[in-house]
A and B are shown apart, each in its own frame.
Chain A
Amino acid sequence: MARDYGRFLYTVAYRLTGDREDAEDLVQETLLRVRRGLRTYRPGSMEGWLTRIATNAFLDRARRRRRRPETPLDDRAVDVLPQTPPAEDVHIGESIGADIQAALTALPDEFRVAVVLCDVVGLSYEEIAAALDIPVGTVRSRIHRGRAQLRRSLGGGAGR
C-alpha cells in the first residue's frame, strides 16, 4: 500500500518539477509536512490529501524562488550531485513522454499545477479549487491556458 502511495507521490512531484532531484526534495518536504499536519488530516482520499500538501509545498517553493532567486550551484554542490542519472536508472515513465514533460515544465507554475492536478492526478475542478484555494472559474481558465500553451510548445498551435 505504501508503495502505491509512494509511486503516486513521486509521480506528482516529478510531473510538477520535471527534475529527479527536485522531485525527491519535494517528496521529502511533503512527508515532513504530512507528519506535521497529521492533526489537520480530514476524511477524504489519501491521494487527494497527499496531492494537496505536495502542491502547496511546490507552490511555496516557487514563490520563495521568485522572491529570492537562487544563485547557481557552487562548485562544491556540483561535485556532490550527479548531473545525469545513470542510464539504467531512468525509468520508462520518464523516457517516454520526455517531450511532453519538457513542455509541461515550461508552463508557468500556476498553469502547470492546474494541468497536473487535472490530467495527471485526475482531480475534479472542484477538488482542484479546494486544494489551491481558488475559484472554480480560475481553475477552468488555468487548465485551458495550460493545455493551449502546452499544445503550442509541442508543435501544434491552435487552428493548425
Chain B
Amino acid sequence: MSEHPLDELSALLDGELPPGEESAVRHHLAGCATCQAELSSISHARAALRSLLPVEPPHDLADRFLRRLKRVLAIVAGGAAGVAAGAAGMMWATAPNREVTPSVDLISQTQPDRAETPIAPRAMPAGYVAPAWLGSLRRTGLYEMNGVLLARYSDGVHRVALDEQKGELDTSGMTARAPSGALASAAQTPAAQVPAAYWWDGGNALTWQAGPAVLTLVGDPTSVAAAASALPAPRPSETLGGRLRRVCRELIEDLSGSQ
C-alpha cells in the first residue's frame, strides 16, 4: 500500500472494512506516522459527534407533530398488517369455527423480551410464521396463522399479548391447564364491552367471548385491563386484515397515549 489509505481509516474505526482490507490497512498504519496522526485526529472528531445528545422538540411543535406521527405510525402498522394478511388470503369471516381453549403457554411465548427488542421471526412459537414486517414494529407485533390472530404490545409501562381466534369458548380446558387460576366472575371485568370474561392463570390472563371470536389477553393484570378496554370488538363481517389493522391502531393509540 504505497499511498495513505485515508478514507479507509474512518472505515477501520467503524469496523466497516472487509477482513482482507483491514489487515492491509493495519499493516500500513503500523509503519506510517502520518496515518497514525490522522487516525487519532478523526477518532477525536468521531467521539465528539457521538457525544451529541438527543434534542427535545419544542413543546408547541411536539404536541402537533406527535399527534400526526402517531396517526402515521398507526397507519404504517395497520397498512403493513393489511398487506401481510392480504397475502395470506385469509378472511376473518371465513375462518373455521371451532371450540377454543386458549393456552397461556403459547400466548406467553409471544411476549417480547425485557430489552424491548422486536421479536425476531426465529423467536416465534413453533408452527407460527412471522410476517417479514414484524421486525419493523418496535412495540407492536401482529401475526396470524390459520385465522388465529396473535398480537403483542410492549412499552415501558404495558406489556401484553393477545390471542384471538374464531370459535366458541370452551372454559373446561382452561381450569385444567391453569391450576393456579380459578376462573373469576365477570364482575371483575374492567371493560363494559366485555360482558362475560374470565380472569385466570393467577390474574395474568383474561379470556372472553366477543361475537364470533374468543379473545385472550396475557400479561400483568394492569396491562391486561388496559388492553381489554382498548381492544375494539371483532365484527363478524370484517376481514382478518381489517381486524389486524384496527387492533394495532387501537393498541398503539390507547396504550401509548395513556402514559
Inside 8 A of B41's CB, which chain A residues have their CB? Answer: 148, 151, 156-160
Binds B, one of A5-13, A58-66, A72-80: A5-13
Of the four ranges (under 10, 10 to 19, 20 to 34, 35 or more), the interface on chain A belongs to 35 or more
Bound CA–CA A44/B133 (angstroms):
7
Question: Is there contact, CB below 8 Å, between A8 and B137?
Answer: no
CB B15 to nearest CB in A, in angstroms, measures: 9
> By the criterion CB–CB under 8 Å, are A93 and B52 in contact?
yes
Q: Is the interface of A mostly helix, strand, loop or mixed?
A: helix
Sample of 22 A–B contacts (CB below 8 Å)? A2-B73, A6-B57, A7-B54, A23-B55, A31-B65, A44-B136, A89-B58, A91-B56, A93-B55, A97-B51, A100-B48, A100-B51, A100-B52, A101-B52, A120-B50, A140-B10, A143-B10, A145-B7, A151-B41, A151-B45, A159-B37, A159-B38
Complex: how many Å from CA A151 to CA B38?
Answer: 10
Return the chain A residue nearest B153 by Cβ: A1
Which chain B residues border A93 with CB–CB below 8 Å? 52-56
**CB closest chain-A residue, reference B57:** A10
Which A26-43 residues have a C-beta within 8 angstroms of B?
A: 27-28, 31, 34-35, 38-39, 41, 43
Binds A, one of B74-82, B92-100, B233-241: B74-82
How far in angstroms is the closest Cβ of chain B from A33? Answer: 10
Known: A24-B61, A124-B16. A38 touches B48 (CB 8 A): no
Q: Is the C-beta of A106 less than 8 angstroms from some C-beta in chain B?
A: no
Overall SS of chain B's interface? helix
B68 interfacial contact with A, CB 8 Å: yes
A74→B98 CA distance, assembly (Å): 71
A interface, CB within 8 angstroms of B: 1-3, 5-11, 14-15, 20, 23-24, 27-28, 31, 34-35, 38-39, 41, 43-46, 49, 85, 89, 91-94, 96-97, 100-101, 104, 115, 118-120, 124-125, 137, 140-141, 143-145, 147-148, 150-151, 154, 156-160
B52 with A10: CB separation less than 8 A = no
- B7–A140 touching, CB < 8 Å: yes
Give residues 121-179 of B contacting A (CB, 8 Å).
Answer: 132-133, 135-139, 155
Q: Determine if B70 is an interface residue (Cβ-Cβ < 8 Å).
A: yes
CA distance A91 to B136 in the complex (A): 30
